[in-house]
């Protein structure tokens, strides 16, 4: 879970953007069925509380992104300006 540490290092001003990128990735994914019911509930709760750009919210989004789009998630993070996070996520996924 070293990507969580990398996520913690993301500048606060960029967290909203990161949250948007990840949420779009998850919602546009054709693998929605892969999301576990527990993670789906956490995602909904975080969205309801407007907490998707908090550390906890981003952790949920990263976990969901890794599960639904294991290839696309690190690639998108890299191109969108989060190389360190992309690299750590890639390691966690084992790619």
Partner 1 sequence: MVELRFGIEFVPMNPYWKTLLFAMESEKSGFDNVWITDHYNNRNVYVSLTLVGTHTERIKLGPGVTNPYMIHPVMTAQSVASLNEVAPGRVICGIGVGDKTTLETVGIEQRVPLAAIRDSVQIIRDMTSGKGTQLEGKAFRVSGARFFFKVGNPIPVYIGAQGPKMLSLAGEIGDGVLINASHKRDIENALRFVREGATRGGRTMDKVDVAVYTSFSMAEDPAKAVKAATPVVAYIVAGAPHPLLESHDISAQAAESIKNGIAQGKWKEAFGQVTPEMIEAFSICGTPGTCLERIEELGRIGMTQFVAGSPLGPKIRESIRTFGERIIPRLKHY
Site string for partner 1, 16-45 (x = CB under 8 A): -------xx--xx---xx-x----x--xx-
Following DSSP, what letter does each residue of 10-32 receive, concatenated?
S-GGGHHHHHHHHHHHHHT-TTG
For residue 28, the minimal CB distance to partner 1 (Å) is 6
Residue with Cβ nearer partner 1 (34 or 91): 34
Residue with Cβ nearer partner 1 (35 or 84): 35
In 3-state terms the chain splits into helix, strand, coil percentages (rounded to 5) of: 75, 0, 25
Q: Which residues bind partner 1 (CB under 8 A)?
A: 23-24, 27-28, 32-33, 35, 40, 43-44, 47-48
């Amino acid at each position: 879970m070293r990507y969580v540490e990398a996520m913690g290092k993301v500048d606060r001003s960029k967290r909203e953007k990161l949250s948007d990128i990840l949420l779009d990735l998850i919602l546009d994914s054709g693998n929605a069925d892969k999301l576990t019911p527990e993670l789906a509930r956490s995602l909904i709760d975080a969205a309801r509380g407007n907490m998707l750009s908090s550390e906890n919210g981003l952790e949920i989004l990263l976990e969901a992104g890794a599960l639904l789009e294991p290839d696309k998630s690190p690639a998108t993070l890299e191109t969108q300006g989060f190389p360190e996070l992309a690299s750590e996520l890639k390691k966690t996924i084992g790619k």
